[in-house]
Structure 1
Amino acid sequence: MIETQIPMLEQALEQALSVWKVENKPQLISITEKMDAIDPFIFFDRGTKWKGKRIFWSSSQESFFLVGVGEAISIDSNNQDFLQTEEQWKSLLKEASIYNAFQVPGTGPVAFGGGSFDPDKKSTKLWKEFKETQFRIPSYLLTITNGETYVTFNAMVASDEDTVSIRQDMLLAKQYLLAEQKGLPAGPSIVQKEEIASDQWKELVEKATNEIKSGQAKKIVLAREMRVDFEEDASLSSILYQLHESQTNSFIFAFENERDCFLGASPERLVRLQDNELLSTCLAGTAPRGVTREEDEKIGAALLADEKNREEHDFVVQMIRNAVEACCEQVHVPSDPVLYPLRNLQHLYTPVQAVLKKGYSILDVVQRLHPTPALGGLPREESMMFIREFEQLDRGWYGAPIGWMDAYQNGEFAVAIRSALLQGKSASLFAGCGVVKDSEPEAEYQETMIKFTPMLSVLGGS
């Protein structure tokens, strides 16, 4: 990688410097090379040299990986306006020097990030390291797709002095990221576990059902927190590997800021865009998996026939259909859901396919879709007001969009559920459920316990 990049690097630096001297604006340079196979988890682990600035994304079904180390530039905002992010991203790309002969989705300059669930709710110190909206273009990006491996080097050039440090950085990449691959550290071990205000949460479920019965809302999604402590700082690379191995049909993600890292295994795709073809998915309605095949099929059939879960699912389908139709054409939505099996859970699932209209981007769709009824409720404003006023949890990035977009109008976002915020020797886990008129507090509590399971299992708990 390093040797073959040098001629392109010198050309990119020369071009960026010439533009900077005329316009006095920092320039992004981006160079992509095809590589031999690299283990994504070891690449992430090697990135501890740049600890606090790592990202991870994988789609288990498609064997697609993005692993970022370092930060060439960050696009941040103190409000959750994804369209403002879009403007800054386009401006950055317009002046960039991009050397990418492949233009494969997920290569070249890629912005990875997300934002808070509700910027109108006052944040607490729990999420102090995370902005309302934050996207990172990593210094080094590993992309694995269709069995091929690519590495992209990104850097900002704003002076002659930058060129010296950029050359040195590339040597560091060779030394730390592409050296001989070894195994991963051991995973964490939980020594203490605490459910935060579980009795008060059940009371809140009852309050929400009364609100719904009085006609103030149709559905309100309530979330809660579990706090765990470890013997020592948890190894992120080991956790990500275990999530990838255990949570099939999921999107594995991580966004690291300093000593804090938000990570998870979400089964819920918000939207994918590739070659203008859009796919969104409706995932609402939950049941556990059975121990035997017969039990599993019986539980699945009961979920498909359950009136409460079907109603909850239909809320999500109608909202996503309406949002997609506003900026797409050729919208196709199946009439009935199917089962979406995970290791610990199964859900009702309906895909929404469409073609994006000219003039729109993936962030336009994200802005319209968030929050979906699966994470907020219906009607949107009424349910969000209830959550904002009565839910004690600071959701932060939990339940919000997280994902990536490249320079070629490709990208993918998931809803950040089945997740945890790791902070050294401690972690906060998050889980929620949709409350409707027939909800029972104890049943909803048990549903959240099931939803804690994917994260608990990889953090050394049960």
Structure 2
Amino acid sequence: MPSGHFSPIPTLYCWVERIDPSSPHGHLPLTSFLPTSELCAWIRDEAMVGWGQAWRWQRAKDRPPLVEAGENAAITEAARVWDLVREKAQIHWAEGARDAWGSDLPVLPIAFASCAFEDDGERVLVVPAFLIITRGSTRFLVTSSIDSHDKPVFDTEVIDHQLPPAETLSIGPGAMCEEAWCGAVDEIIDALRNEEAGKVVMARDMTIISDSPFDQAALLEHLHQRYPQTWTFAVAGLIGATPEMLVSLHQGKLHSRVLAGSSKPEDADSLPLSLKDRSEHLFAVESVVAALLSVAQDVQAPARPDVLILPNIAHLSSDVYATFPQGSVLDAVAQLHPTAAVCGTPTDDALDLIHAYERTERERYSGPVGWIDGAGNGEFGIALRCGQLENNDRTLRIFAGCGIMPDSSSRSELEETQTKMRPLLEVLNL
């Protein structure tokens, strides 16, 4: 697409240096350097944390994308914008940094991204002014600006991040009270039994209100410590710990981790024996495979799912692999989202029922969240087990959803959403 559609497209300048391992920045927890807000992060075995904004692109809710109409036009628009930015980027390497930068590290520049569940919702790309990337014991600092003569100055202050005391927090209602939500689930169950869809994912929300702004870095660090098997993320005020990888793409090799079908951890052994959970999981896997068959090669999905056991919940889990010969990770995201794991199936029928009964504005919950690099590689999870900061960071709106099947019980599904909300509630001692 011509760059004029997205003018002005800035030139992004990035300066790269290796962090001295003997300095505090070489060994202290990465969150020690983060401010309390305006941060970006993607943490699992390795980590990327950033703060400040060198460049930000955002489309507000209901603002139509500047690309040709089609499914997931908003995500495709974000992909095209990033194509234009990364093509113009200029990278400057400090002495020794390029040699130390291994081939397994991302190609600069790097943007964090988050898109709404619905195609008409908010989407955002952020290149932080400061980015620390780790590989093993090696750390790099990437400083970015859209002004070649204004390299930002790295603040070396170490911050002691704290969670708010539980007594300063209060829990507020979501869009639907529990009774109303269960009633809506019962309506959906009736619709499923009448074969209006095969599966529908219903979400609900609640709010946590603080006397003072939440410390985003503290939330991030505690989520990572409690749930190291997940991908802990923060993008534009959306913070969480997702166990589900929508898609990772590295040099054409694609991976998607599908989670659907859940139980308590102590019941994990019986989870593969549940017909309801196996059927729910199969819908989710089939939706990913079907989306990939027209655009990818060598699509491989396991015959039987594994069981992923987290501290508070167990999931049926399947890893899907493929070769994605053309396009970036955001193009793959546009092809896959929404999967049956967060929407239902068939997609259009499930969305109709969601719009009729859910009454919860998901915003970026259950949408794609992750990062993309200068070669189009990257990782995008599904924004689950997360909360959106609002009201000047004094309100944390948390979400959870579950797959409704014809033989579901609304009370059991409510309990599942309560379990899925536990990560953030436990971190805050609520």
Q: TM-score, normalised by structure 1?
A: 0.81
* SS of alignment partner, residue 421 of structure 2: helix
Q: Report deviation, 1:104.
A: 4.6
1 CA distance for matches of 2:49 and 2:135?
A: 12
Q: 1:28 aligns with which of 12, 16, 22?
A: 12
Describe the shift of the 1:140–1:287 C-alpha distance in structure 2 as closer, same or farther (beyond 3 A): same
Matches within 5 A, 1:114-125: 114-120=114-120
Q: Report deviation, 1:92.
A: 1.5
Q: 1:440 aligns with which of 409, 412, 415?
A: 409
Q: 1:213 aligns with which of 188, 193, 196?
A: 193
Q: Report deviation, 1:389.
A: 2.8
Tell me if structure 1 keeps the 8 A contact 2:107–2:375.
Answer: no
* SS of alignment partner, residue 439 of structure 1: coil
2 CA distance for matches of 1:182 and 1:378?
A: 46
Q: Which runs of 5+ in 1 are unaligned?
A: 1-23, 121-130, 291-298
Tell me if structure 2 keeps the 8 A contact 1:251–1:414.
Answer: yes
Matches within 5 A, 1:314-325: 314-325=282-293
2 CA distance for matches of 1:184 and 1:426?
A: 18
Structure 1: which amino acid aligns with 2:171? Answer: K
Q: Report deviation, 1:435.
A: 0.6
Structure 2: which amino acid aligns with 1:245? Answer: Q
Tell me if structure 1 keeps the 8 A contact 2:250–2:377.
Answer: yes
Q: Report deviation, 1:388.
A: 1.9
Matched with 1:189 is: 166
**Residues 436-461 of structure 1: CA distance to partner in whole angstroms, max 9, x if unpaired?**
10011111111111111111101221
Matches within 5 A, 1:237-386: 237-256=217-236, 261-290=237-266, 299-357=267-325, 359-386=326-353
Structure 2: which amino acid aligns with 1:377? Answer: G
Structure 1: which amino acid aligns with 2:88? Answer: E
The answer to whether structure 1 residue 135 and structure 2 residue 132 are counterparts is no
Matched with 2:49 is: 67
Structure 1: which amino acid aligns with 2:170? Answer: Q
* SS of alignment partner, residue 145 of structure 2: strand
Matched with 2:388 is: 421
2 CA distance for matches of 1:276 and 1:143?
A: 22
2 CA distance for matches of 1:69 and 1:398?
A: 22
Matches within 5 A, 1:78-227: 78=63, 79=65, 81-100=74-93, 101=98, 102=101, 104-106=104-106, 108-120=108-120, 132-157=122-147, 163=149, 166-167=150-151, 169-170=152-153, 173=154, 176=155, 178-179=156-157, 181=158, 183-189=160-166, 191-196=169-174, 197-227=177-207
Q: Report deviation, 1:228.
A: 1.9
Q: Report deviation, 1:221.
A: 0.6
Describe the shift of the 1:219–1:108 C-alpha distance in structure 2 as closer, same or farther (beyond 3 A): same
Q: Report deviation, 1:231.
A: 4.0
Moved more, 196-205 or 82-91: 82-91
Percent identity, please: 27
**Residues 216-265 of structure 1: CA distance to partner in whole angstroms, max 9, x if unpaired?**
10001101111222343222211111101111210111123xxxx21111
**Residues 317-352 of structure 1: CA distance to partner in whole angstroms, max 9, x if unpaired?**
111111222222122211000110111111000100
Tell me if structure 2 keeps the 8 A contact 1:187–1:239.
Answer: no
Structure 2: which amino acid aligns with 1:192? Answer: S
Tell me if structure 2 keeps the 8 A contact 1:29–1:155.
Answer: yes
**Residues 97-150 of structure 1: CA distance to partner in whole angstroms, max 9, x if unpaired?**
123522653363111011111144xxxxxxxxxx71111011111111233211
2 CA distance for matches of 1:420 and 1:395?
A: 11
**Residues 293-327 of structure 1: CA distance to partner in whole angstroms, max 9, x if unpaired?**
xxxxxx11211100000000000111111122222
Q: 1:455 aligns with which of 403, 424, 427?
A: 424
Q: Report deviation, 1:275.
A: 2.4
Structure 1: which amino acid aligns with 2:371? Answer: W
Structure 2: which amino acid aligns with 1:303? Answer: L
Describe the shift of the 1:303–1:232 C-alpha distance in structure 2 as closer, same or farther (beyond 3 A): same
**Residues 196-220 of structure 1: CA distance to partner in whole angstroms, max 9, x if unpaired?**
3111100100110111111110001
2 CA distance for matches of 1:137 and 1:149?
A: 18
> Whose helix proportion is higher, 1 or 2?
1
Q: Report deviation, 1:75.
A: 2.4
2 CA distance for matches of 1:431 and 1:25?
A: 37
Structure 1: which amino acid aligns with 2:162? Answer: P
2 CA distance for matches of 1:343 and 1:457?
A: 11
1 CA distance for matches of 2:224 and 2:10?
A: 37
Structure 2: which amino acid aligns with 1:214? Answer: N
Describe the shift of the 1:230–1:309 C-alpha distance in structure 2 as closer, same or farther (beyond 3 A): same
* SS of alignment partner, residue 81 of structure 1: helix
Structure 2: which amino acid aligns with 1:193? Answer: I
Return the index of the structure with the highest Cα Rg: 1
Give the total of aligned pairs: 395
Tell me if structure 2 keeps the 8 A contact 1:271–1:366.
Answer: yes
Q: Report deviation, 1:26.
A: 3.8
* SS of alignment partner, residue 146 of structure 2: strand
Aligned-residue CA RMSD (Å): 2.0
Q: Report deviation, 1:186.
A: 4.0
The answer to whether structure 1 residue 233 and structure 2 residue 226 are counterparts is no
1 CA distance for matches of 2:331 and 2:75?
A: 8
Q: Which runs of 5+ in 2 are unaligned?
A: 1-7, 66-72
The answer to whether structure 1 residue 42 and structure 2 residue 40 are counterparts is no
Q: Which runs of 4+ in 1 moved over 4 A?
A: none
* SS of alignment partner, residue 408 of structure 1: coil
Q: TM-score, normalised by structure 2?
A: 0.87
* SS of alignment partner, residue 105 of structure 1: coil
